[in-house]
Structure 1
Amino acid sequence: MEPTNTVRDQILEHAITLMMLRGYNGFSYRDLSELVGVKTSSIHYYFPSKDDLVLEAVNQYSNEILGTLSSIDASLPADQKLGKYTKLFGRTLGDGDQICLCGMLAADIEALPDNVRAAVQAFFKANESWLAKVLAQGVKERTLHVNGKPENAARALYAAYQGSVLASRLFKTKARLEDVEVSWKVSK
């Protein structure tokens, strides 16, 4: 994430990081107040409830990730696009102890309000849609291997990426993530 100046931005940045490390129930406003150096009442000023904070965090995270996806050069071959996507997931892992924010929240889905659930689902669908287009391109170019429809394969591939970050965190290695990309490429 980019460096931030405002208290509100700092709260969001720390909230995103804490959720990527600990999940929805793994942090409190007290944790944020210590990290940002403000009273919890100041956090409530910007985000009256934790659900308000989490929804804004999901929206900000989604905008950043989806913005990065849209900046990938459309003229690249599909296998190179997939490589850039894998690197994006690798950055999400940080030092190997973080998980995609929306992936982490998906594990807590029953504890989330409907508006946060919808935002997490929209994030998943946007990634799956982007991957479906890349997979369809890869089939045409013969650079990626796909069984069945690209839309179905994209859901499986996205699930594999999300699962790989869990395994990467568990085993403290990004190799699990790299294995996902390799399994979809056509050997030359």
Structure 2
Amino acid sequence: MNKNKNTAELILDTAQAIVQDVGFNGFSYSHIAEKIGIRTASIHYHFPNKEDLGEALIARYRKNFIAASVQFDNETSNNLERLRKFTLMYAEPVQDYCTCLGVMLSTDLGALSGKAGEGLAEFLTANLDWLQRVLEDGQREGQLYFEGDASVQAHLFLASLQGAQLLAKSFRDRSRFDRIANGVLSALTVK
């Protein structure tokens, strides 16, 4: 069982890296099998079809985001610092000129199963809910400054980071992500 779990995790790790680079439609089980040196039958054993794999990818991604957001909350009570940590999490895939799984799956939404699409919406909602709470807390505590509703700010923040990932990937220039991320954070510190 432990070996199966390790194989399943290796398949998910490999599939995630591929999706973050070329999208959900840009690979087959044979691509994964070749990268990790197993037969496609082994992949089908863990994930009978690509829809199952997509659902497992997004479920794991959401679970990892929730764990990361709890960690951010536990590491600091400063809401600007929490947003910086969130931004650094979104910067990670940019180092390899990729985007986060959420961005790539959003662009391939039509190819996902209904369950995977729902999982993607749940992942994005988890991001937005966390951002909204941090923004509200930061505004109330005098750490963050913005006009209007925190829900709108959360959407703008997330959309800015996702768009920054796409620009960095398109231009193969991480500094484009950094400029946008820093600009979004700076805008929240101006009275």
Scaled by the length of structure 1, what TM-score is found? 0.90
Contact preservation (8 Å) 1:89, 1:100:
yes
The answer to whether structure 1 residue 67 and structure 2 residue 67 are counterparts is: yes
Match of 2:26 in 1: 26
CA drift of 1:35 comes to 1.1
1:1-188 maps to which residues of 2 (within 5 A)?
6-74=6-74, 75-95=76-96, 97-178=97-178, 179-183=180-184, 184-187=187-190
- Aligned-residue CA RMSD in angstroms? 1.9
How far apart are residue 145 of structure 1 and its match? 2.8
**More moved, 137-146 vs 60-69:** 137-146
**What are the superposed Cα offsets for residues 42-72 of structure 1, whole Å, 9 maximum, x if unpaired?**
1111111000011101111221122111111
Shift of 1:128: 0.5
Structure 2 runs not aligned, ≥5 long:
none
Amino acid at match of 1:51: E
Change (3 A) 1:20 1:68: same
CA contact (8 A) 1:19 1:104 kept: yes
User: Which AA in structure 2 matches 1:186?
Assistant: T
**What letter matches 1:127 in structure 2?**
N
Task: Quote the offset at 1:129 in angstroms.
Answer: 0.5
How many matched pairs? 184
Between the aligned partners of 1:48 and 1:73, the Cα distance in structure 2 is 37
**How many Å apart are 1:180 and its aligned residue?**
2.9
Q: Is the 8 A contact 1:142 1:186 kept in 2?
A: no
- 1:82/1:181 contact within 8 Å kept: no
Task: Give the partner amino acid of 1:81.
Answer: R
Secondary structure of the corresponding residue to residue 104 of structure 2:
helix
Structure 1 pair 115/5, CA: closer, same or farther in 2 (3 Å)? closer
Percent identity over the alignment is: 29
1:7–1:36 CA contact under 8 A, matched in 2: no
TM-score by length of 2: 0.89
Quote the offset at 1:5 in angstroms: 7.5
Once the two structures are superposed, what CA deviation does each residue of 1:55-103 show, in whole Å capped at 9, x if it has no partner?
10111122112211111135421111111111111113232x2111011
TM-aligned CA distance change 1:115 to 1:166, over 3 Å: same
Q: Which runs of 5+ in 1 are unaligned?
A: none
